[in-house]
Amino acid sequence: MFKVPALLLLLTLLPCTPALSAEYEKVQSLNETIRAANQGVIDAQNTVAMIYRDGLGVPRDYKAAIKWYRMAAEKGHAEAQYHLGMMFHDGKGIAKDDREALRWFRQAADQGVAEAQFALWEVHRRTDGPEARKWLRQAADQGLAEAQYHLGIALRDGEAGLEKEPQQAASWLRKAADQEFAKAQTALAGLLATGQGVEKNPVEAAVWLNLAISQGDPAALKKRAQLHKEMTPEQITQAGTLAEQWSPPALPRIPASQGTQSTGSPPPQPVP
């Protein structure tokens, strides 16, 4: 059984200050989560597993995390199933077991966990193209930026058993770029710079490259240097201003049960 942290007992004996009061409330909240987990509340069990996995207020303990993830996963908690799969996949606190990881990924994916669906794409992409594409598209449809990026690249290059579809590629890359996925911002800029699947627009391309550079994408830095050679000083200044003004649109994750997808929105539109 999960023990009540000794810090909680110590805090009750110390003089109350604002900082100490905040720490006391934090530990109280942890204690309540622990109590609920011990009573079989699966959301709490999943949370306690995360606490152990990440060492949040307790020493990091992967074996304890697996124990709590398994308790919640076996009761059908989708997020716990995914994270338990990751523990098996990474070999953290337990021997690496790809078959067991796959089993838990599939259970979570069947419940609509986009990260698990993307994990199944990674598992199958070199051995089972149709299965891989199915899971990649499901994850992308739910708004997972990394899945949208990889789907966009596959459609751009005609990979993963897909035909080249530049317009669809641009659409998926924009959705991921709207979520501040740096690699997608750089890839979308490449399409805008050449007019592949979209109207050629070097200023908007530079906006996306500026945004990707601000997130540390090294590929964007090289591409921007090349693009600037084709732009006027006024266009370069305009792109910098627009990048500073840009803010990501609100793109909530779409639950699998809704069966719809968000289209996102473009950045501030520069003058061509």
Pick from 90, 158, 85: which is nearest to 120 by CA? 85
The domain segmentation of the chain, as residue ranges, is 41-111
- pLDDT above 50 (res 38): yes
- Opening angle at CA 186, ends 180 and 189, nearest 5: 110
Burial of 51-83, coded b for 16+ CB within 10 Å and e otherwise, reads: bbbeeeebeeebebbbbbbbbbbeeebbbbbbb
Residue 58 has pLDDT above 90, yes or no: no
pLDDT tier for residue 136 given thresholds of 50, 70 and 90: very high
Q: What is the mean pLDDT of residues 115-133?
A: 93
The model's confidence at residue 189, banded by pLDDT at 50, 70 and 90, is very high
The string of pLDDT tens digits covering residues 141-166 is: 999 999 999 999 999 999 888 999 99
Q: Taking the complete model, does pTM exceed 0.85, yes or no?
A: no
pLDDT of residue 181: 97
Nearest to 190 by CA among 242, 226, 136: 226
Distance (Å, whole) CA 170 – CA 168? 5
How do residues 63-111 score in pLDDT, each as one tens digit?
999 999 999 999 999 999 999 999 999 999 999 999 999 999 999 999 9
pLDDT at 21: 53
As a whole number, mean pLDDT of residues 176-196 equals 97
**pLDDT value of residue 31:** 82
pLDDT of residue 18: 55
41-111: CATH superfamily: Tetratricopeptide repeat domain (1.25.40.10)
How would residue 267 be classed by pLDDT, with cut points 50, 70 and 90? very low
Indicate whether 5 pLDDT > 80: no
Q: Which pLDDT band, with edges at 50, 70 and 90, does 25 fall under?
A: low
